[in-house]
Amino acid sequence: MAHSGSGARAKLLDSDEQNKSKGISSMIRILLTGLCFLFLRPTCSSGSKILVVPVDGSHWVNMEVLLQELHTRGHNITVLRSAKSWYIPSNSSIYTSINVPMLEDESDRNYYNKMLLDVMECRRAPSFMRTFCQQHLITSMLEKGHKILARAAAKMLDDPVFIKRLQDAEFDLMLTDPALTLGVILGSYLKLPMVFNVRWINSGEGHLTIAPSPVSYVPVSGSELDDQMTFLERIKNMLHHLHSAVEYHVLVNPAYSDLFQRHFPPGTDLLSLQYAADIWLVRTNFVFEFPRPTMPNVVYIGGFQCKKARPLSDELEAFMQSSGEHGVVVMSLGTIVSALPPEVTESIAAAFARLPQKVVWRFEGEKPSSLGNNTLLLKWLPQKDLLGHPKTRAFVAHGGTNGMYEAIYHGVPVLGLPLLFDQFDNVHRLKVRGAARVVEAKSLTKENFLEALKDILETPSYRNNIQRLSQLHHDQPMSPMDTAIFWIEYVIRNKGAAHLQSAGFSLPWYSYYCVDVAAVFMALIGAFVWASVLICRILCCRRSRRKNKVKSH
């Protein structure tokens, strides 16, 4: 609080100079920030220097929304991006970028189209095995990915000029998405306060990094379970938990061991770097996620990227209106998979053709032969604005977290068509709340897709349930975006938030789990039993000796 006064104001001027964003909007910003200083001092830390290490693809979509808001509040943002990035532009009015030669393989978009075929094969396995088969695919990807990341991190830390440049910039904060490890490693190396913008929490869904997560009711990511598990499901969840622990120790962490040895104090591992996060901004909340324990440095900001719908273009608005009372179905499968297998595409198109509704479909590639007149294919669509349109009746989605929150925000029921990664977990969350149906690509036919679509469109409970979720989602003390900004600025103002971090982090595992204490208790009980037996024996011996003596007399 104390240092958010004149010093911070001077920093604000610095940042404005650097951004060179002049004119009226900049004037208004300075004025607002000034007012903010006068009336709301504790909540302002404008003009700070924030280093951002984002993740490409859909993760960037939400990180960018956050950066826009931080920029509006006068912060000076530097983004570290791969020179080959798909999504993260090198030139932006809201940040300065630094190109780094990292993630050489992520730019291969066909990689995920190929992966989809493997996942579809996996999903044909028996129900219990399916998630493990899929996890195995992810493990292989992780193995490769972490090696690439470790090389990229080593390249950075081994480059004294690059590191000097970052050190000289005197950043106030590292804001990163820990789905990739580069930001975590770099932030720890530069000893910067750290804020994570994160969807999933690794290692058994965060038992160690976040809070104790009883396997009996906290489903591990990838398990496709919820918090009400049968006995068999609890066994499955435990296996996923153990798998994730083994994966971390055998595969993920060892990829970095050389790097840690060379650049960090002895005993450093990936978990210990994650412990250093001051605040975890988690992109869910308990309208969507199942209730679970969390430490005080975890803040839920689910749906922070959602906004009220803006008007559509004239053409699109005319298309929406042409749907009449039947309304419109919106379909989008996100950023990662660019093409479904042709037979799946044909079935979907044929099913759509049978609907009285109109359909807007975000689509790349060759036009399906079975496409109906009611279906509009678009390479890109204003998803948020379409979901908020009063004519929209259902959302056919792959189940990315961003899309799920937009559906919740606007109260639109979902037909989930999960393809990869957490998408199966995400659509399951809406399904158990009666707000979604799920159809899988591996078994999708024109008939079952149409049946599910009609169910979603005609059964009122789906709409009622998602609107109940929407109502709860909007019923928060503060908007998720304001919450996110507050905690980012909190960490900057207070130079960290160590007082919110778990003391469990500093304990070795045997102390954390009280194994040492239990051992002492067992030893004491053992000693007591042994001593009791010994005393009994001695007493018995004496008695029998006495008896013998009596007899012998």
Residues within the interface to a second copy (CB under 8 A): 1-2, 42-43, 211-217, 227-228, 231, 234-235, 238, 286-287, 290-297, 300, 471-472, 474-475, 477-478, 482-483, 486-487, 490, 493-494, 499-504, 506-507, 511-514, 516-517, 520-521
Going from the C-alpha of 478 to that of each of 38, 62, 106, 405, the distances in angstroms are 21, 18, 36, 17
Closest CB to a second copy among 499 and 553? 499
Closest CB to a second copy among 293 and 327? 293
Q: How far is the CB of 386 from a second copy (least distance, A)?
A: 24
Q: How far is the CB of 364 from a second copy (least distance, A)?
A: 38
Closest C-alpha to 275, from 351, 202, 348? 202
Closest CB to a second copy among 511 and 548? 511
Q: How far is the CB of 465 from a second copy (least distance, A)?
A: 12
Other beta carbons within 10 angstroms of residue 16's beta carbon come to: 18
Other beta carbons within 10 angstroms of residue 30's beta carbon come to: 16
Going from the C-alpha of 417 to that of each of 18, 245, 369, 440, the distances in angstroms are 45, 29, 21, 6
Kindly give, in sequence order, each residue whose CB lies less than 8 Å from that of residue 186, ignoring residues fewer than 6 positions away: 51, 53, 80, 153, 156, 157, 166, 174, 176
Residues 227, 218: contact at Cβ < 8 Å? yes
* 287 three-class SS: coil
Q: How far is the CB of 36 from a second copy (least distance, A)?
A: 14
Q: How far is the CB of 163 from a second copy (least distance, A)?
A: 32
Task: Report the amino acid identity of residue 429.
Answer: R
Q: What does 201-212 look like in DSSP terms, one character per residue? A: --HHHHTTTT--
Q: How far is the CB of 128 from a second copy (least distance, A)?
A: 14
Closest CB to a second copy among 233 and 451? 233
220 burial level (CB within 10 Å; 0-12, 13-18, 19+)? buried
Residues 494, 173: contact at Cβ < 8 Å? no
Pairing status of strand 96-100 against strand 76-82: parallel
Closest CB to a second copy among 375 and 483? 483
Distance CA 551, CA 553 (A): 5
Closest CB to a second copy among 117 and 525? 525
Closest CB to a second copy among 26 and 494? 494
Residues 401, 283: contact at Cβ < 8 Å? yes
Distance CA 392, CA 412 (A): 7
Q: How far is the CB of 293 from a second copy (least distance, A)?
A: 4
Spell out where 363-479 has E strands.
Answer: 375-378, 392-397, 414-416, 436-438
Distance CA 152, CA 509 (A): 30
Closest CB to a second copy among 81 and 240? 240
Q: How far is the CB of 196 from a second copy (least distance, A)?
A: 16
Per-residue DSSP letter, 500: G
Q: How far is the CB of 299 from a second copy (least distance, A)?
A: 9
Q: How far is the CB of 220 from a second copy (least distance, A)?
A: 13
Task: Report the amino acid identity of residue 29.
Answer: R
Closest CB to a second copy among 111 and 513? 513
Distance CA 364, CA 340 (A): 10
Both structure tokens of 262: 């060379």
Closest CB to a second copy among 517 and 535? 517
Q: How far is the CB of 1 from a second copy (least distance, A)?
A: 5
Closest CB to a second copy among 37 and 217? 217
